[in-house]
Amino acid sequence: MSLRIAFIGVGNMASAIIGGLIASGYDAGKICGTSLDVTTHKALEDKFGMRMYADNSSAVANADVVFLSVKPQQMGAVIADFVENVREDQLFISVAAGIEVGSLEKWLQKPVSVVRCMPNTPALVGCGMTGLIANDNTTAEQRQWVSNVFDSFGAHVWVSEEQQMHTVTALSGSAPAYFFRFIEAMIEAGKAQGLDAESCRKLATYSMLGAAKMATELEEDIAQLRINITSPKGTTEQALIALEEKGIDAMVRSAVDACARRSQELAQEFAAN
């Protein structure tokens, strides 16, 4: 489907999606956007070859698909501003963290197709992971179109229950920060042993990149990949023993649980009345 797409709020994540669409061959002439910062309009038009609107209503009125990529606390007011232009044949895709499908349906006021997504920041470098959930109005054809969009800058998973989006947030949406923190700790450990910071960063980051590629591209079980490089009484085994002694499973579970819990709190905080 060569659909007309409007992005309400063109920030970093919207830019990543637009970039992925265009890189995959999508016609930039079919894409438009809005931004409160009008000084960025020309730069965005020059960068992507898309059209920028000064108001949301005009963008929505001319679109088949509308990406809602404003801040969660602004979502209700932003939709209220253009709700008179909403058509029942449109597809709305929300990129806002914490806003549940039910709230979007209430604000949009018509039986439209709604998809809620949780992308993550590696989308900016073409390696994003996105969790998706759709309402009952969304057709199989629309779901496939959405899947193709998010695959243009990474990969995706669909979930069937809203509650599962909190887990998606904990395992994907927020997870890059966990790995950055782990890399920081590795760099500091290397520096403490006398290696320079630049070398520590390169060694740690390329090791994580390589491990991620092996985990995503090879068919072996993750545990088996670990076993393959863990020789009995070897260096890797000693490192893993140290991590186990510090309770790595409990530590990670605690982090994931805390993230999912906060995601639930935000959903309640931003829910439509």
Residues 240, 148 share a domain: no
Q: How far apart are CA 65 and CA 130, in angstroms?
A: 18
**120 shares a domain with 19:** yes
Contact criterion met (CB below 8 Å) for 132 and 157: yes
Would you say 148 is a known binding-site residue?
A: no
Please check whether residue 130 is in contact with residue 155, taking contact to mean a CB–CB distance below 8 angstroms.
yes
Residues 9, 144 within the same domain: yes
Does 234 belong to an annotated binding site?
A: no
Say if 184 falls within a structural domain: yes
Put the strands of the sheet holding 51-53 in their side by side order. 51-53, 31-34, 5-8, 65-68, 91-94, 113-118, 128-134, 154-158
pLDDT band at 1 (very low <50, low <70, confident <90, very high): low
Cβ-in-10-Å burial (0-12, 13-18, 19+) of 132 comes to buried
Q: How far, in Å, CA of 147 to CA of 156, rounded?
A: 7
Distance of CA 61 to the CA centre of its chain: 26
Taking a C-beta distance cutoff of 8 angstroms, is the pair 151, 129 a contact?
no
In a domain, 138, yes or no: yes
9 known member of a binding site = yes
* Co-location of 15 and 115 in the same domain: yes
The last residue of one of the domains, among 115, 139, 161, is: 161
Model confidence band, residue 136 (pLDDT cutoffs 50, 70, 90)? very high
Q: Are residues 74 and 149 in the same domain?
A: yes
Q: Is 92 contained in some domain?
A: yes
8 annotated binding-site participant: yes
Full domain range(s) for residue 200: 175-265
0.85 exceeded by pTM? yes
CA distance 133 to 166: 12
pLDDT, tens digit (0-9, with 9 covering 90-100), for 22-41: 988 899 999 999 988 888 89
Alpha helix stretches (DSSP H) within 36-163: 41-48, 56-61, 75-82, 101-108, 140-151
Percent of the chain with pLDDT over 70: 99
Residue 60 dihedral angles phi and psi, to the nearest 5°: -65, -40
The pLDDT of residue 244 is above 80: yes
Residue-wise pLDDT for 9-19, tens only, equals 998 889 989 99
Last residue of a domain, one of 161, 186, 221: 161
Q: What is the CATH number of the domain that holds 29?
A: 3.40.50.720
Averaged confidence pLDDT in the chain = 94
Domain-embedded: residue 43: yes
Torsion of CA 26, 27, 29, 30, to 10 degrees: -60
For residue 264 the two structure tokens come to 């639930």
| 207-233 per-position pLDDT tens digit | 999 999 999 999 999 999 999 999 999
β-bridge pairing 128-134 and 113-118: antiparallel
- Helix runs in the chain, H state only: 12-23, 41-48, 56-61, 75-82, 101-108, 140-151, 164-168, 175-192, 197-217, 222-228, 235-245, 248-270
Predicted confidence at residue 273, as pLDDT, reads 66
State the pLDDT confidence band at 271, using cuts at 50, 70 and 90. confident
Q: Express each pLDDT in 81-111 by its tens digit.
A: 999 999 999 999 999 988 999 999 999 999 9
Angle at 258 between CA 257 and CA 263, to 5 degrees: 95
Q: Which DSSP symbol is given to 54?
A: S
- Flag whether 64 is in a domain: yes
| 188 located within any domain | yes
Q: Say how many C-beta atoms besides its own lie within 10 A of residue 244's C-beta.
A: 10
Residue 119 lies in a domain: yes
Domain total of the chain: 2
At residue 141, the pLDDT reads 96
What tokens does 16 get?
């990543």
Question: What's the CATH number where 212 sits?
Answer: 1.10.3730.10
50 is in an annotated binding site: no
pLDDT tens digit sequence for 175-193: 999 999 999 999 999 999 9
51 domain residue, yes or no: yes
Question: Is 190 marked within a binding site?
Answer: no
| Same domain, residue pair 179 and 156 | no
Please state the φ and ψ torsions of residue 131, each to the nearest 5 degrees: -95, 140
Q: How far apart, in whole angstroms, are the C-alpha atoms of residue 246 and residue 243?
A: 5
3 state DSSP class of 105: helix
